Amino acid sequence: MKVKRFVPVFIILLALCQNVYAQIQNNLPKKIDQLLQQEKLSGAVWATVTASDSIYTHSAGVKSFTTKQPLKPTDKVHVGSITKTIVALGILRLATQQKLSLDEPVKKYLPKVPFFNIWESTHPITIRNLLDHTSGLSDLRLWHFFSTTATADTALSTFYEKNQQVLITKQRPGTVFSYSNMGYTLLGMLIEAVTKQRYEDYLDQHLLKPLSMRQSTTHFVSQVGKNADPNLAMGHFDDGTEAPALPIYLRPAGQFTTTAYDMGLLLRFLMSDGKINQSVFIDSTYLAALGKPTHTIAASNGLPVGYSLGAAQRDRHQVIGISHSGNIIGYKAMFYIFPKEKKAFFIAYNMDSESANYEQFNEILIQHLQIPKIAFPKTPSINTNDLGAWAGYYVPLITKVEPFGLLDFVGSFTKVEITNDGAEFKPFQKQAIHLHYLGKNLFRAQDKVEASHYFYANEKNRKFISNGLLTLRKVNGWQILAIAIILSLGILSILYVLLWSTFESIKRPHSFLKHPLLACFLSILILLIAIPFMITQPFMSIGDRTIGNMILAFGTFMLPLGASISLFVCLQNEKHFLKKLNFWSLTFILLSCILLIINNLLPLTLWKQ
């Protein structure tokens, strides 16, 4: 009798719970839609995965700013670098089948790839190094992504055949994290070498199909042309103009088309034991190691954050999860998994904006999944007197986009000050971060719940700082200042030569042909001619051999030559030249040019850079 009375009560409680859950789910689209409008973004699709294995998908915003067609949960999107997780799983599947070993040298499978690795005899680049972004390779060159000359069938090896210098290792493999799109392109080549088929065909047939990701593909998909798919949402630039998808040279690093539901299936698998239909598909030890670095200098000394096997551990919003972000022209995406809670989310936007705060969406989705927050730990009181040697200025150890390391030097430096309880981390043009000292050279940023930075020195006592996903090296602050001054005076001198020469040519047109500044002035005019061509050419052709790019290359070739000729004429014709502004202007232009030449920035050939 008591049981009969309890049944109606249980049914009522269950209905109430379902109603509350439905209200929570319905409230999420409203919040995301409001944020999309606030951040001036076109649209978003997302999926949430709960402990019950249920996958909930939704969308907000528009599929295209032009058509104003609503974006549907079933519409497809590009996810950029999340492709790396797919490629990594393909490698892990082959490793599970014992068709390769993660710690084998890449050279075993790709013997013709011309690596320039001075540590080859003791530390060859391994498959794991590529998976973990610890190969020592830089990220990419401009033309790898910003080019209209790539096709959906371009050989993957093209990325280095044009310029083999891209395969120079900057650091000993396995020691430091350095994000590399080129590294994952090599993994695509490795899959092709092992399976004897295109990497796209292998991943679609032997990874996506078993995972039931039927609306996803690693093959090229666009909104226009022969690869058009009407279900693909239109990508958008910052200003809202449309950005149809184009092929890229590094496609294993960023070419993947999917839906919110399919990504939900992927996230559910990543939190599983690696089995499909009771059979081992990917070894569970590999899945357990996602985002948990063990081999880098920072990781081996206790820093928990970092990248491993196609994902990264992330400490943000007082929660720790395994994640991967991605962006490609017109799109931006993020997935987050919380293995302990068996919950996850994926969200993708059909607009890649430099000004929007995408982190707000992550925070809302974390709150929605009710991931418990971790309390900030009590900061220990440890003496920092022995850390004074780490105070100073730091720049990235490996430049992401070669050969623009000089720009990192003057524009991406960080000042570090040692305090009583830790350190002040002051990136140039960014907000300062206070680091609490935890002992053993480990620090915790004020908004983190775990150690976030590791300070260390190498065998030559050179100082470094790592946050798991970026390593900085200490440099002389005066060197940064000197380079910044030379470049600044060079720019000011170019403006002086341009304005003064223009004035002189108008005032004294006949005698100006003999003016000492003439040669330098003509070279600057060539650079000015390039500007309208550069502005009007398509954004995606930055890395192509366009008229604007060729004029720019010619102008940057002529600038040091013109400055040298003008300086020679100045020395020959002008008395007391040390007191002349012309002399010093030409000197600073020439010094700037020499600095740029040394750093491989002159002549500026963007289709090679």
Answer yes or no: is pLDDT of 300 > 60. Answer: yes
What is the SS3 string spanning 444-460? EECCCCCCCEEEEECCC
Mean pLDDT of 299-305: 97
Cis peptide before 339 (omega within 30 of 0): no
What pLDDT score was predicted for residue 3?
45
Burial category of 475 from C-beta neighbours within 10 Å (exposed 0-12, middle 13-18, buried 19 and up)? middle
Residues whose CB falls within 8 Å of the CB of residue 333, separated by 6 or more in sequence, listed in order: 77, 78, 79, 80, 82, 325, 326, 327, 346, 347, 348, 349
Least confident of 10-14, 297-301, 498-502: 10-14
Give the DSSP H/E element, type plus range, for residue 367. helix 359-368
> What tokens appear for 317 in the block?
């919003």
CATH 3.40.710.10 fits 77-98+196-368, yes or no: yes
Residue 104: closest CA among 175, 164, 194, 206: 194
Mean pLDDT (the chain, rounded): 93
Q: What is the pLDDT of residues 126-149, one digit of tens each?
A: 999 999 999 999 999 999 999 999
**Distance (Å, whole) CA 26 – CA 343:** 18
**Distance (Å, whole) CA 294 – CA 308:** 8
Q: What is the pLDDT of residues 19-56, one digit of tens each?
A: 444 445 569 999 999 999 999 999 999 999 998 879 99
Paired residues of 319 in beta bridges:
316
Q: What is the pLDDT of residues 274-296, one digit of tens each?
A: 999 999 999 999 999 999 999 99
Answer yes or no: is pLDDT of 578 > 70. Answer: no
DSSP state at residue 418: E
What pLDDT score was predicted for residue 37?
97
Residue 181: closest CA among 244, 252, 121, 239: 252
What pLDDT score was predicted for residue 26?
63
> What tokens appear for 221 in the block?
């998909």
Residue 182: how many other CB atoms lie within 10 Å: 22
Angle value at C-alpha 596, between 594 and 599, nearest 5 degrees: 110
**Distance (Å, whole) CA 580 – CA 578:** 6
**Distance (Å, whole) CA 296 – CA 37:** 42
Residues 97, 100, 103, 106, CA torsion sign: negative
Residue 282: closest CA among 294, 304, 266: 266
Answer yes or no: is pLDDT of 167 > 80. Answer: yes
> What tokens appear for 70 in the block?
């609503």
**Distance (Å, whole) CA 374 – CA 172:** 36
Answer yes or no: is pLDDT of 592 > 80. Answer: yes
Task: Sketch the domain layout of the chain as residue ranges.
Answer: 77-98+196-368, 385-475, 479-598
Q: What is the pLDDT of residues 56-94, one digit of tens each?
A: 999 999 999 999 999 999 999 999 999 999 999 999 999
Which phi-psi region, left, alpha or beta, contains residue 43 (left: φ > 0; alpha: ψ -120 to 50)?
Answer: beta
Residues 598, 601, 604, 609, CA torsion sign: positive
Is residue 415 very low, low, confident or very high in pLDDT (cuts 50, 70, 90)? very high
The answer to whether residues 50 and 28 touch, using CB atoms and an 8 Å cutoff, is no
Mean pLDDT of 161-189: 96
Is residue 600 very low, low, confident or very high in pLDDT (cuts 50, 70, 90)? very high
**Distance (Å, whole) CA 59 – CA 293:** 34
Residues 446, 447, 449, 455, CA torsion sign: negative
Is 471 strand, coil or helix? Answer: strand
What pLDDT score was predicted for residue 25?
52
**Distance (Å, whole) CA 257 – CA 80:** 9
What pLDDT score was predicted for residue 550?
97
The answer to whether residues 169 and 125 touch, using CB atoms and an 8 Å cutoff, is yes
Q: How far is CA 135 from CA 124, 148, 180, 187, 314, in A?
A: 9, 28, 8, 12, 21
The single-letter code of the amino acid at 338 is F
Pairing mode, strands 463-466 and 414-418 = unpaired
Residues whose CB falls within 8 Å of the CB of residue 379, separated by 6 or more in sequence, listed in order: 421, 422, 436, 438, 444
Give the DSSP H/E element, type plus range, for residue 605. none
Mean pLDDT of 202-211: 98
Mean pLDDT of 406-424: 94
Burial 250-261 (b: 16+ CB within 10 A, else e): bbbbbbbbbbbb
Q: Tell me what percent of the residues of the chain surpass a pLDDT of 90.
A: 87
Pairing mode, strands 463-466 and 319-328 = unpaired
What pLDDT score was predicted for residue 508?
85
Q: What is the pLDDT of residues 541-558, one digit of tens each?
A: 999 999 999 999 999 999
Q: How far is CA 307 from CA 132, 206, 251, 336, in A?
A: 6, 25, 20, 14
What pLDDT score was predicted for residue 18?
47
> What tokens appear for 540 in the block?
């995606």
Q: How far is CA 222 from CA 30, 69, 330, 591, in A?
A: 29, 17, 12, 46
The answer to whether residues 47 and 75 touch, using CB atoms and an 8 Å cutoff, is no
Answer yes or no: is pLDDT of 17 > 60. Answer: no
Domain 385-475 top-level CATH class: mainly beta
